[in-house]
Amino acid sequence: FNLTGVPLGEYTIKSKVKYTSREGELRFVTDQDSFKITPEPITLGTVLFAKVWLFAVWQYLAALLLLGLLVAAAHKGKEYWELHKKYQHIIVDHRLLPQPGERSAYVGLIAETHIRAFINLESLTTHTIIAGATGGGKTISAQDIVEEALDHNVAVVVFDPTGQWSGFLRPCTDKSMLKLYPHFGMSIHDAKGYKGNIFHIENPREYLDLQSRIKPGFINIINISKIDPKELDIFVANTIRQIFKMNLPESKTLKTLFVYDEVHRLLPKFGGSGAGFIQIERACREFRKWGVGVLLVSQVLSDFVGEIKANINTEIQMRTKSEGDLERVKNKYGDAILHALIKASVGTGMIQNAEYNKGRPYLISFRPLKHSPQRLSDKELNLYSKYNNQLADIEYQIQQLKDLKQDTFDVELELKLAKDKLMEGKFTMVDIYIDGLVTKLKSQFAAAGATPKQRQIKLIPQEEIEADIAIAQKERERYTQEMIKKHGKDYFENKKKGIEKPPAPKEPKKSEDPVLHFLERQRAKGLTDDQIKKKLLEHGWKEKQIEKLFKKEEQEKKKEKPSKDPLAELQLRLNALMAKVEAKKKEGKDLTLEIDTVTLPGDVKLALASKDKQKAQQLLKKMDEIEQKHNLR
Ligand SMILES: Nc1ncnc2c1ncn2[C@@H]1O[C@H](COP(=O)(O)OP(=O)(O)O)[C@@H](O)[C@H]1O
Ligand SMILES: [Mg+2]
């Protein structure tokens, strides 16, 4: 029988056989039996090969396994990436950074995140310095800031010794820049050229007529590549003098931004006399009230950070190899930042401003440019020179006509229109206006019976510039005296080195807050006991006093512990621990393996991400044990 398809159950089968025996008799035999049809027994084989929908079960299982493997690999990969993040030890509280808004400049992303980083435009009125090695991305980050300033209707003047800034007038078509757009949330439609003009200056005393050139939302690029480096000081003094003479109205918001690229060239060690700096210092002290910001771009920072730094509130440090600058970063901000900066990629740099992130520095990856990073062709540059010369000639002739008491209303208006068209890069229109103006002026001169005089380049007398430098020098002395009186004789030296002066040693009194506070800040920077001790010794502390201080710190810590939020403390403690491990490494003792510095940061990250207080407590305890065991206290 074939029982396929018969329902499960108990069956009885009966048989009845009729046959003829040998004897020839007809006989009957009957029999019956019962049996059960039961479900097939379940074996691994039947399950694995059972078909569910299109595939056999084993095929599904194999696919699941593969998926699991992939997920695990991705997870491992992410973990690896997290651990090898360059900037993971840097504490950034995103709530304490400038937020998007009407006066916020979008300059890039917080390094290794997708969080947008902004600079408050008004903070540019307390001046900015961008420092770093050649090729680290100083000019590009300055150009990001300038693009944003222009987009917010600020007038910009750039003093450009390299010619790199001329691309500002054309949209970005550079493939390697455009490729970065999506990562920074930008689209091809963001690429744009800015409105403005380019001038070539050859004489450092040339009158720049900034007053008529400055216009909100427009950029004036003053190319100074032809100025003899020895005369750069004079040029800078000249520009600052002209800004002082502009009679700008007072303003609380940023109205004008002056950019000096490659400003280290003014330093004596790069061939300058230092006079230019004295003027810049004066500018940084006084320009603010007019809403004028100064943006300095330099290869080195520590060399002129003393008096100037006291008046510059935003510091951007790109990757650097300058020992002085590295030392300064270490002194001022600690090891974590130092290491991040040494490793920083091109275009990523540290930013520090007292109002951002509680004054703690953090890293920004600066965004690609909207304008063209390529300089204009010589042909285009020559066009700008030609038109600027023609327009200056026309202006000079109009002035002569005015002196002859002629009516110049029409020609003045046309001249203004021609200038505007040039700023917009509309060369054909400029040509038309110039042709018209030349004809009109010719007939006006003929009518007045006069011939126009040739224009000479207007120069500021050398004595005037020197007198100005002398004034700046005097003011600097006065200012220096004032600061020294206020803060002590090492004030500028310390500012330069980035050293924070610890409070003078005193017999410990009941409330010794300032000293403990000082200690706390040094710890947050990741300084080890030895480093702090050295600092204190340098400032007249005695061994015994220092020991007492550390003890006191320990006691205070114990007191505070229960009330502290373990999550808040965790990252700080990890930073301090890692810094100590690094310090030991320098002394030749590598604790990396023993302490398992590979998983520890990962665990901390996890605890922070999941806000797991219990885990945080455990990790803090673990760190306590590690510190005790390896004598890192
Ligand atoms: N934020 C950035 N995005 C993309 N490329 C950058 C960035 N910063 C720098 N670069 C690249 O590095 C090069 C050098 O940068 P630049 O700003 O001219 O350096 P510096 O002024 O420090 O000498 C640029 O031409 C550009 O190719
Ligand atoms: Mg540069």
pLDDT confidence of 587, banded at 50, 70, 90?
A: confident
Q: Which ligand is nearest to the CA of 178?
A: 1
Residues having CB within 6 Å of any atom of ligand 1: 132, 134-140, 177, 180, 318, 346-347, 366, 368, 373
Tell how strand 51-52 and strand 196-200 pair up.
unpaired
User: Residue 138 C-alpha to ligand 2 middle, in angstroms?
Assistant: 5
pLDDT of residue 65: 96
pLDDT of residue 590: 80
Closest-lying ligand 1 atom to the alpha carbon of residue 136: 22
pLDDT of residue 391: 95
Interval 234-254 mean pLDDT: 91
pLDDT of residue 523: 78
Is the pLDDT at 166 greater than 60? The verdict is yes
Q: Which ligand is nearest to the CA of 131?
A: 1
User: Residue 161 C-alpha to ligand 2 middle, in angstroms?
Assistant: 9
Tell how strand 256-260 and strand 292-298 pair up.
parallel
Is the pLDDT at 2 greater than 90? The verdict is no
The distance from CA 190 to its chain's CA centroid, rounded to whole angstroms, is: 20
User: Residue 348 C-alpha to ligand 2 middle, in angstroms?
Assistant: 14
Is the pLDDT at 174 greater than 50? The verdict is yes
How many whole angstroms separate alpha carbon 538 and alpha carbon 502? 10
Closest-lying ligand 1 atom to the alpha carbon of residue 164: 18
Ligand 1 atom 9: residue of nearest CA: 137
pLDDT confidence of 365, banded at 50, 70, 90?
A: very high
How many whole angstroms separate alpha carbon 34 and alpha carbon 224? 112
CATH of 94-366 among 1.20.200.10, 3.30.390.50, 1.10.340.30, 3.40.50.300: 3.40.50.300
pLDDT of residue 496: 64
pLDDT of residue 364: 96
User: Residue 261 C-alpha to ligand 2 middle, in angstroms?
Assistant: 7
Q: Which ligand is nearest to the CA of 162?
A: 2
Q: What is the CA radius of gyration of the chain?
A: 38
The strand pairing partners of 200, in sequence order, are: 223
DSSP string, 63-132: HHHHHHHHHHHHHHHHHHHHHT-TTTT----GGGSPPSSTTEEEEEEETTSS-EEEEEGGGGGG-EEEE-
- In the DSSP assignment, the letter for residue 361 is -
How many whole angstroms separate alpha carbon 382 and alpha carbon 601? 57
Is the pLDDT at 506 greater than 70? The verdict is no
Backbone angles phi, psi at 63, to 5 degrees: -60, -40
Sheet holding 362-366, edge to edge: 116-120, 104-110, 362-366, 348-353, 314-318, 128-131, 292-298, 256-260, 155-160, 219-223, 196-200
pLDDT confidence of 408, banded at 50, 70, 90?
A: very high
pLDDT tens digit string along 69-113? 999 999 988 877 766 676 767 788 888 899 999 999 999 999 988
pLDDT of residue 509: 45
Closest CA relative to residue 536, chosen from 491, 503, 496, 583: 503
Out of 188-192, 291-295, 422-426, 599-603, which region has the weakest mean confidence (pLDDT)? 599-603
pLDDT of residue 82: 64
pLDDT confidence of 501, banded at 50, 70, 90?
A: low
User: Residue 369 C-alpha to ligand 1 middle, in angstroms?
Assistant: 10
CA angle 350, 283, 363 (to 5 degrees): 5
Tell me what the pLDDT averaged over the chain comes to: 87
> Which of 141, 166, 346, 367 to mutate for ligand 1's pocket (most ligand atoms within 8 Å of CB)?
346
pLDDT of residue 502: 55
